[in-house]
Amino acid sequence: MTVVPVNMSEMPTFTLVCDGLSKAFGRRVICRHAAFSVASGESLAIIGPNGSGKSTIVRMLAGLSRPDSGTVAYALDGGELKRESWHRVIGLVSPELALYEELTGRENLDFGNRVGGWGKTSSDYDVVLEEIGLGGRGNDLVSAYSSGMKQRLKYAAAFLKDPMLLFLDEPTANLDEDGSRRVWEAVARRRVALVIATNEPEEAERAGSRFVAGQ
Amino acid sequence: MPGAALSPGSKIWAVFAKDTRSEYRTRYAVNALLLFALVTLTAMSFAVGGAGLSPLYASVFYWIIVFFSALSSLAQTFVKEVETKTATFLKLTAPDDAVFFGKWGFNLALLLVLQIVLTPLFVVMLNIGVERWGLWLATGLLGAVGLVSTATLIGALIAMAGVRGALFSVLSFPVLLPLLVVLIRVTEVCFGGGTPEQVGDGMLVLVAYAGVSTAAGWLLFPFVWRE
């Protein structure tokens, strides 16, 4: 496996800042006046039992849904990033995101690369597929993948993008031991602002700070 | 920061190519589109028999087939993205403009395929005498652009709504009705009926509708696509 070394001192500093964030579905509170920030190299775990609203908070932080009140802002080297550009810096691995079943793994990566303008080459696809344990399976249709392989491909797509902010919602769902080890190693190699939504204590312990959903 | 390097045209093409490749492998929309059109045409052909149709009725039948075939499948490009959860990937990857025009282009190609298959069959099976082929082709193209622009936006709207069902038809019908009326009046002339005055005014309306619906779709799409 070839992993290209990155000069982290040259990378821009990204910060997610959330202030006064509130969301409720009727009486069910997802979060109330939440305030936190996550910068490049830092990590936050959103924890809570099933149904507490972890995924909803991730969606709000990623700009995929709107809060009832409060703000989410992205800053890049101190300057605020416009909401229209958020999609360029986000990597998301989530049960609420799927890749195209009728395309192959490589075709999915190629589509993301072309439409997102990630500036990657075919050999970059091989590197990231190898890194995540899908080497040699990139030309198979995603519909033929197991659930664990689909989860790995989501990581490959997220990593290929070189995100500055990485959301991992149920990060090791469907992954075997090898898959879990590979993704955590791959995450550790990247200097991203990391947000993990999980109800697994071991996964939450990887994060520097925590936020409890449903309060 | 990734995302800025490629031209907007390349990104639109990427969405269009992805949808075309997916469609080629699944026949998700084209089967519904062609099946509806051919079944309706066959039923009409049996009902009419050898009696022949007046230019007005022939025009009405043609556009009813195209209109309802379009309703059955053009919304699917967005509904499928939402139902299979690939919409989230698309939102986090592609600029809104590329998604709208990529889907628009795909829907237009789909509708043009329908018209290419339907038109000769319609002429032969219903024994239609076409007097102005060039005008009919232009009408078909402008009608397709107007239909597709409206259907693409409304398709995105209903895909993002929790309740879909017949919502697409309900929302589309009042918006597309003026277009449908003009298309029928101009096509009537192509089949040898109506008056020449119907053409000039009608074509003007069709060009305006195509332009306005495309611009409105493009401008409104981000508000529909982003919750």
| Per-residue pLDDT in tens (0 to 9) along chain B, 227 residues | 555 567 888 999 999 999 999 999 998 788 888 998 999 999 988 888 777 789 999 999 999 999 988 887 888 889 899 999 999 999 999 999 999 999 999 999 999 999 999 999 999 999 898 999 999 999 999 999 999 999 999 999 988 886 666 788 888 889 999 999 999 999 999 999 888 888 898 999 999 999 999 999 999 999 998 86
Residue A132: helix, strand or coil by DSSP?
A: coil
Give contacts of A99 with chain B, Cβ < 8 Å: 86, 89
- B162/chain A closest Cα distance in angstroms: 14
**DSSP class per residue in A145-206:** S-HHHHHHHHHHHHHHT--SEEEEESTTTT--HHHHHHHHHHHHTS--EEEEEES-HHHHTT
Task: Tell me the C-alpha distance between B150 and B209, whole Å.
Answer: 10
Give contacts of A97 with chain B, Cβ < 8 Å: 85-86, 88-89, 92
Q: Which pLDDT belongs to residue A3?
A: 47
Please state the pTM of the whole predicted model: 0.89
> Are residues A42 and A17 in contact, defined by beta-carbon separation less than 8 angstroms?
no
Q: Which pLDDT belongs to residue B32?
A: 85
Q: What is the pLDDT of residues A93-149, one digit of tens each?
A: 999 999 999 999 999 999 999 999 999 999 999 999 999 999 999 999 999 999 999
- Report CA Rg, chain B: 18
- A176/chain B closest Cα distance in angstroms: 23
> Are residues B64 and B196 in contact, defined by beta-carbon separation less than 8 angstroms?
no
Q: Which of A64, A100, A119 sits opposite B88 (nearest CB)?
A: A64
Q: Tell me whether B89 touches chain A (CB under 8 Å).
A: yes
- B72/chain A closest Cα distance in angstroms: 22
What's the length of chain A? 215
Task: Tell me the C-alpha distance between B125 and B178, whole Å.
Answer: 28
Residue A140: helix, strand or coil by DSSP?
A: coil
Taking alpha carbons only, the member of A135, A131, A136, A134 closest to residue A150 is: A134
Q: Tell me whether A33 touches chain B (CB under 8 Å).
A: no
